[in-house]
Structure 1
Amino acid sequence: MTTTQKNQAQKPTGYARLVLADGTVFTGEGLGATGESVGELCFNTAMTGQQEILADPSYAGQIVCFTFPHVGNVGTNDADEEASCDAAKHAATGMVMRADMTSPANYRSMSHFADWMDQRGIIGVSGVDTRAITRRIRESGMPMAVIAHSDTDAFDLDALREKARSAQTMEGRELAADVMSSENADWKDGDWDWDTGHGVGPADGPLVVALDYGVKANILRRLVSAGARVTVVPGKSSAKDVLALKPDGVVVSNGPGDPAATGRYALDAIRGVIDAGIPVLGICLGHQMLALALGGKTVKMAQGHHGANHPVKNHETGQVEIVSMNHGFAVDASSLPDDAVETHISLFDGTNCGFRLTSRPVMSVQHHPEASPGPQDSYAVFDGFVASLKKETA
C-alpha cells in the first residue's frame, strides 16, 4: 500500500441504524462491516487507542460508543494488536462515533481504521449524537442494542427493535469461552520499543502461567518485560493442568461477560491454585473471579467503567493513579473474606479496585495496569509481582 493510498479518506459506505432495547433509534452513516450485530451499549471516554479498545477481548458482546468525536487519524497496525489468539479477534461487535472517520496520518499506520473494522467484522455508525447516548447510559444504565449497516436505506425497524428488546443481557452471560486460547502456548514478546519493535522475553526468570479468559496481549508483554517467562493456558484448564507446569506464579486474566457465569467452570481451578500456595495476580475479570473463588460477591454496574482516565486511590502507597478501565461488574468489598485488605478504590464512585490477602500470596486489581491504551501509572503491578517471584526463586 502506498502512502497516498493509505491516507485516502474512506467515506461512510452506506446507511446505518443504532436501535436500543427501549425502541429508540439513532440514524447515521455506516462504515466497517455490513450486517447486523447485537450487544450491550457502553461508552468509552478514551481520546486515543481506539484500535486497542475494539481489539480488547473484554469488549466481546459490546457496542462501544466513543465520547471523543474524532476517530481514525492514527490508523491501525499489527504492533498494537491486543488479541493474543485468533479466537480473541472476535471482540467488540460495534462502534459508534460522532464525526466522519478521519484519514490516517501516522507513520505507523498500516491500514485505514474502517478497513480494519471490516476485516474484524465490526459494524460502525458515524454521525450520531454520542453525547445523548452517553447521557442516556449515565442516567439509565447500559442497554442492549442492535447496530445495523446496509448499502440501502431499507431497515425493518420493528424487527431491529424486537431483536434488541429480546437480546440476552450481560448478567448471567458467559463469553470468555469464545475468546480464550484453545491450547497451551509460550509467549515471547515484550513491550514495544519506539525504534526496534517488540522486545524478546528472557531465557530464564520465573515462570508465570496465564489463565486465559480473553487475555490482552499487553498483559503478557508487560509480564515478559518485567522479567518473567510466560505460558498461556486456556481458561478451562484444571488446577492439575496448571500445577503440572510448575509455575512460580499464576495470572488470572481479564475477559468479557459475567464473572459468576465464567466462574461456573473456572472457580475450582482458581481455588486449587490458591490452595497450592502459588502466588496469584488477578486482573479485571480475573480480579472478580478471585473474589468469587474466595467466597465474595460481584454486582452488575449501571454504566460500568470504560476509559483511559479513571482515578484510582492506591491505599498501599497513598498515591492516586490514573488508569485504564473496562468492566461492567464490580466486587462487593464487604463480601471479601476477613484476610482480604482493600488496596485500591475508584475515586469516581468508591467501588473496589483491588485487594490482597494477608494469609496467602494473592493480589488483584480491577483496572488494566497494562494500559493499551492509557497511562502507565500502574505498571508497578507487574514489576512488583514478578520481582516477588524472583525473590522466592532466588
Structure 2
Amino acid sequence: MENHKIRNRATLMLEDGTRYEAYHFGAPVSSSGEVVFNTAMTGYTESMTDPSYRGQILTYTYPIIGNYGIPSSSCKESIFEFYESDRIQVSGLILSYYSNRPYHWNMSLSLSDWLLKHGVPGLYGIDTRFIAKKLRKKGGSMLGKILMENEDLPFYDPNQDNLSEKVSIHEKITYGNGKYKILLVDFGLKNNILRCLLRRDCTVIRVPWDYDFTSEKYDGLVLSNGPGNPKIYEKPIHYIRIAMKEEQPIFGICLGNQLLGIAAGGDTYKLKYAHRSHNQPVILLKTGKSFITSQNHGFVLDAENLPKEWKIFFKNLNDDTCEGIIHDSKPFFSVQFHPEASSGPTDTEFLFDLFINSIVKSNK
C-alpha cells in the first residue's frame, strides 16, 4: 500500500534547460523520453497502456488523476478487458494533483502501486496546464526527463527509433472464429480494435509489424495504430503497396492511415500542435457531418501529393489537417483518429461497419 505521509522530491527537466521540482509517486526511478500532453478528463488507464505512447512522458492537463484507481487485469478471449496492451507503455507520468485515496468497485490497484509494479515513475505538484502551453509552442512536445535526487540521464528521442519493434507481437496470433477473415498488422495495436472486429463476426489474424503478408489470403486488411515517425516503416510500406494492387478492402487507423497515405504516394510531417485529446472535431467531407473523436498523434498525412484517385475522407475542424483518405474506386480508406476509442467518444465506431460492408460487397 502507498505511504501517503512521505513525499519525496524529484525533478522534471526539459530539453530547453527548464526544471520543475515536484513530488514523485510510482516507481522511484529516473526516466527519459518525449514529453507530451493530453487534455482528456478520464481514461488514464487506457491511455497509459496505449502503445502509441511508447517512449513518451505523458502530462495530463486535467487537474485530478487517479481517483478511480486501476481496474482489474481480467482477460476475455485472451484480450485484457480494461487495458489497451499488456503493460504500461508511457515512460513517465506528470500530474497536477495525484488522488491518493481512490475508490471504484472494479479497482484492483492504486495508480501509484500500478506504476511501481511496472517500474514507471510519476510526478505531481506541477502546473501541468502551464507545461501544456509551453509544449504547444514547441509543436506539442519536447524531450524531457524525470530525475530522482542526485541522478541524471541523457535525453532520449523516441522518434528516432523503430518503436513498433518494441510494442508489436513477434509471432502470428489468431482470435475468434468468425465469418470474415481479417489480417491485422500490429504496429502497436490497441486492444479495442480487436474487440471491435470480433464483435463483427471476424476471425482476426494478428501479425507483427514487419510480417510479409503479401502471400496471405484474407477478406480485409487492417493497419493498426502505433508509435513513432511513420517514415521509419519502409518494409511495411512496401508490403502495403503490393496489397494495394489487389481488390481486398484496406482499413488504416492512426499510424495505419499515415502508412497507407505514404504507400499511395503522399507524405507526412510533424504537426505544429499535436492532437492528443478526446474532443478533436472532424468533418466527413462527403456528408458535411461532424464527429467528436479521440486522437493521439504528432505526425499527420500531407495529402496534397496523393494521386487524383485518392480523396480526403475527413478533415480536422480545428486546423484543417487531413484526418483520413479514401480511394475513388477501390475499397481502401483510413482515418487519423481512433474509431475504436477506448478511451474517448465512440461516435465513429461505424467505420468498422463500413469496413465490413466493403468486404461483403467485394465478395459478391
**After TM superposition, is the score higher than 0.5?**
yes
Q: Is the 8 A contact 2:49 2:84 kept in 1?
A: yes
- Evaluate the alpha carbon distance shift between residue 277 and residue 117 of structure 1 in structure 2; reply closer, same or farther with a 3 A threshold: same
Q: Is the 8 A contact 2:100 2:110 kept in 1?
A: no
Determine the structure 1 residue equivalent to 2:89.
91
Determine the structure 1 residue equivalent to 2:354.
384
Deviation, structure 1 residue 122: 2.0
Q: Is the 8 A contact 2:247 2:362 kept in 1?
A: no
1:176 equivalenced with 2:164 (yes/no): yes
Which secondary structure does the structure 2 equivalent of 1:27 belong to? strand
Relative to the length of structure 2, the TM-score reads 0.93
Letter in 2 for 1:124: G
CA distance in 2, matches of 1:147, 1:377: 36
Identity among equivalent pairs (%):
35
Letter in 2 for 1:66: Y
Q: Is the 8 A contact 1:239 1:272 kept in 2?
A: no
Relative to the length of structure 1, the TM-score reads 0.86
Cα distance per residue 1:332-387 (max 9 Å; x no partner) = 02122211111101111111001101132110000011111100101001111112
Match for residue 208 of structure 2 among 234, 240, 244: 234
Determine the structure 2 residue equivalent to 1:193.
none
Structure 2 unaligned blocks of 5 or more = 74-80
Determine the structure 2 residue equivalent to 1:71.
65
Determine the structure 2 residue equivalent to 1:145.
144
Deviates more, 1:282-291 or 1:317-326: 317-326
Which secondary structure does the structure 2 equivalent of 1:231 belong to? strand
CA distance in 1, matches of 2:315, 2:264: 19
CA distance in 2, matches of 1:116, 1:296: 41
Deviates more, 1:115-124 or 1:247-256: 115-124
Match for residue 372 of structure 1 among 338, 342, 351: 342
Determine the structure 2 residue equivalent to 1:120.
118
The number of equivalent residue pairs is 355
Determine the structure 1 residue equivalent to 2:363.
393
Cα distance per residue 1:11-35 (max 9 Å; x no partner) = 6763221100111111111111221
Which consecutive segments of 4 or more residues in structure 1 shift more than 6 A? none
1:265 equivalenced with 2:224 (yes/no): no
Q: Is the 8 A contact 1:12 1:31 kept in 2?
A: no
Q: Is the 8 A contact 1:12 1:29 kept in 2?
A: no
1:247 equivalenced with 2:247 (yes/no): no
1:155 equivalenced with 2:157 (yes/no): no
Match for residue 275 of structure 1 among 218, 242, 245: 245
Cα distance per residue 1:145-193 (max 9 Å; x no partner) = 01124xxxx335xx45xx23xx3362x43211110000111124xxxxx
Which secondary structure does the structure 2 equivalent of 1:125 belong to? strand
Q: Point out the structure with the larger helix share.
A: 1
Describe how 1:265-304 pairs up with structure 2 within 5 A. 265-304=235-274
- Root-mean-square deviation (CA, aligned residues, Å) is 1.8
Structure 1 unaligned blocks of 5 or more = 189-202
Q: Is the 8 A contact 1:341 1:358 kept in 2?
A: yes
Determine the structure 2 residue equivalent to 1:101.
99
Q: Point out the structure with the larger strand share.
A: 2
Cα distance per residue 1:33-87 (max 9 Å; x no partner) = 221211111110100000100100000011110000111122112221101xx5x
CA distance in 2, matches of 1:322, 1:310: 6
Q: Is the 8 A contact 2:24 2:122 kept in 1?
A: yes
Q: Is the 8 A contact 2:34 2:157 kept in 1?
A: no
Q: Is the 8 A contact 2:248 2:359 kept in 1?
A: no
CA distance in 2, matches of 1:339, 1:40: 37
CA distance in 1, matches of 2:178, 2:98: 49
CA distance in 1, matches of 2:3, 2:276: 28
1:222 equivalenced with 2:217 (yes/no): no
- Evaluate the alpha carbon distance shift between residue 30 and residue 390 of structure 1 in structure 2; reply closer, same or farther with a 3 A threshold: same
